[in-house]
Amino acid sequence: MADQLYLENIDEFVTDQNKIVTYKWLSYTLGVHVNQAKQMLYDYVERKRKENSGAQLHVTYLVSGSLIQNGHSCHKVAVVREDKLEAVKSKLAVTASIHVYSIQKAMLKDSGPLFNTDYDILKSNLQNCSKFSAIHCAAAVPRAAVESSSSEKFEQSNLQVSSETPANNELTTNGHSPPTSKQIFQQPKGIMGMFASKAASKTQDANKETKTETKEVTNVFSTGNKAPGKGNVMSNFFGKAAMNKLKVNLDSEQAVKEEKIVEQPPVSVTEPKLAAPTGLKKSSKKAEPVKMQQKEKKRGKRVELSDDETKETENMKKKRRRIKLPESDSSEDEVIPDSPGDYEAESPSPPPPPPSPPPEPVPKTEPEPPSVKSSSGEKRKRKRVLKSKTFVDEEGCMVTEKVYESESCTDSEEELKMKTSSIHRPSTMTVKKEPKEERKGPKKGTAALGKANRQVSITGFFQRK
């Protein structure tokens, strides 16, 4: 019954599915010891040949034994076709073993397909490749099974060195190591060494590589359903660009791997633990987004995006504020529709209306209020303005100081700016150009301010003409 079953199976594989049945493939597929698989194959061949002498079966055998070659005896192991079997056997001094290696319907030209069959079945059974083998090694126990309980301890102890959060993450996922093995302590140190190097981009890339590599290791330690969450954890340190890539890798690896152990709660638990003992700023900052983003990737994405966005706009605002402070262009600014808030924040230019005698040319030009302004001076707000005040101090020197004053917009507008902008007040003038022209102002100094501001942009030339 059971005997007949395997015969039928082999028959089906060989004749119907046209597969190459190697002993290894059979052993994995039927879940039997390799020796038994070999015997099964032999049995099948014999029976088939007895029943049907015209059977279209090609068989390869494995022969091994000692061979005298160049005066040295060596142990030779060879896969030979049936027709060459006897020839090879006779060459060997001592024949150690012969058995059926594979059965297939068609004649094989080279060893490629044989190897590929074995390779494929091996790939899908990587974790227990020795299960059906004849030799069992007591020492060869995969670390994950042995050391998962002590993983948290090691994560903590391994966290001392690195200052970068990617390294920390590496440690948490790779920290499953037995105490006695030097090699594993080398591993975090090695990764540490990688991160100690200054090239941030390099470590980022190396990080990515090792991440995708160690994904396979970490997948042994994570469950399938936690994959998106895990991708999240990793993604924090990589940014959005790499996130998709990682997720894809993650998913494909999940499909391949069979074991599902140690799932994410330990990892997430350790993350906050991470924050506490190490006390690193970055890690503590990241720990919060990690907690936030455990649920869904999308949500995490959004959160991250919004974080980044706010940061960006803040920076922009800051920039604008800084640049616009010295000059005020409220009339033009008000016409431009976007970010009205900026205009409010933006202070009128520093040109002071100095009542003092103007030996300096700049202050002279500044106090004149342009006519254009009056038309657009709807907004009246009091705000603090950086203005330059010119006065004569004790020693009789003219001093110009920039002083914060509280003024209303309309009054303290910059005349220079106004003049130039009145000349070329293109409708195309956007907010972006504002910072540009205003940036030029303070840089070149108040003397040159007027001239610099004539050119709003590179195309300013053409517009005038």
- The residues in 331-390 that bind another protein, with binding defined as CB under 8 A, are none
For another protein, which residue of 9, 29, 36, 223 counts as binding (CB under 8 A)?
Answer: 36
Instruction: Say how many C-beta atoms besides its own lie within 10 A of residue 164's C-beta.
Output: 20
Burial of residue 297 (CB within 10 Å: 0-12, 13-18, 19+) is: middle
> Which one of residues 87, 140, 255, 397 is an interface residue with another protein (CB under 8 A)?
140
SS3 label, residue 452: helix
142 scored as a contact of another protein (CB under 8 A) = yes
Least distance to another protein, CB of residue 260, Å: 15
Among 53, 71, 87, 112, binds another protein (CB under 8 A): 112
* Comparison of 136 and 465: residue with beta carbon closer to another protein: 136
Q: Between the CA of residue 114 and those of 60, 101, 104, 120, 239, what are the distances in Å?
A: 10, 9, 10, 10, 44
Between residues 241 and 397, which has the closer beta carbon with respect to another protein? 241
217, 292, 372, 398: which one binds another protein (CB under 8 A): 217
Q: Tell the smallest beta-carbon distance from residue 115 to another protein (Å).
A: 4
Residue 118 sits in the site that holds another protein (CB under 8 A): yes
Q: Is 98 in the site for another protein (CB under 8 A)?
A: yes
Determine the Cα–Cα distance for residues 280 and 165; give it in Å rounded to an integer.
9
Does residue 40 interact with another protein by CB under 8 A? yes
447 binds another protein (CB under 8 A): no
* Nearest residue to 59 via CA among 79, 39, 30, 78: 79
Question: In the stretch 151-180, what mask flags binding to another protein with x, by CB under 8 A?
Answer: ---------------------------x--
Phi, psi at 70, each rounded to 5° = 55, 35
Q: How far is the CB of 56 from another protein (least distance, A)?
A: 21
Please choose, from the candidates 37, 54, 49, 53, the residue with its C-alpha nearest in 3D space to the C-alpha of residue 102: 37
Q: How far is the CB of 331 from another protein (least distance, A)?
A: 50
On the CB side of 107, CA atoms within 13 Å amount to 4
Question: Please, what is the minimum distance in Å from the beta carbon of residue 280 to another protein?
Answer: 22
By CB under 8 A, is residue 196 in contact with another protein? no
Instruction: Work out whether 34 is an interface residue with another protein (CB under 8 A).
Output: yes
CA distance 335 to 343: 10
CB 268 within 8 A of CB 291: yes
Give the span between the Cα atoms of 161 and 171, in whole angstroms. 11
Which of the residues 46 through 85 are near another protein (CB under 8 A)? 46, 62, 64-66, 73, 75, 77, 79
Q: Where does 221-329 have alpha helices with state H?
A: 227-236, 240-256, 264-278, 281-292, 297-324
Q: Give the tokens for residue 131.
A: 């299960």
Comparing CB distances to another protein, the nearer of 212 and 356 is 212
Q: Is 126 or 423 the residue whose CB approaches another protein more closely?
A: 126
Query: Which residues, at least 6 apart from 407, have a Cβ–Cβ distance to it below 8 Å?
Result: 348, 382, 383, 385, 387
Using CB under 8 A as the binding criterion, the count of chain residues that bind another protein stands at 72
Q: Among 181, 244, 313, 428, indicate the residue that binds another protein (CB under 8 A).
A: 181
* One-letter identity of residue 445: G
Separation CA 368–CA 353 (nearest Å): 8
- Rounded CA gap, 249 and 271, in Å? 22
The only residue of 59, 171, 184, 362 in contact with another protein, by rule CB under 8 A: 184
Nearest approach, Cβ of residue 254 and another protein (Å): 15
Judged by beta carbon, residue 108 or residue 345, the one nearer another protein is: 108
The CA–CA distances, whole Å, from 306 to 108, 256, 336 equal 61, 35, 26
Task: State the nearest-atom distance from the C-beta of 61 to another protein, in Å.
Answer: 9
Please tell me whether residue 95 binds another protein under the rule CB under 8 A: yes
Stretch that binds another protein, among 22-30, 157-165, 290-298, 436-444 (CB under 8 A): 22-30
Q: At its nearest, how many Å lie between another protein and the CB of residue 46? A: 8
CA distance 200 to 209: 14
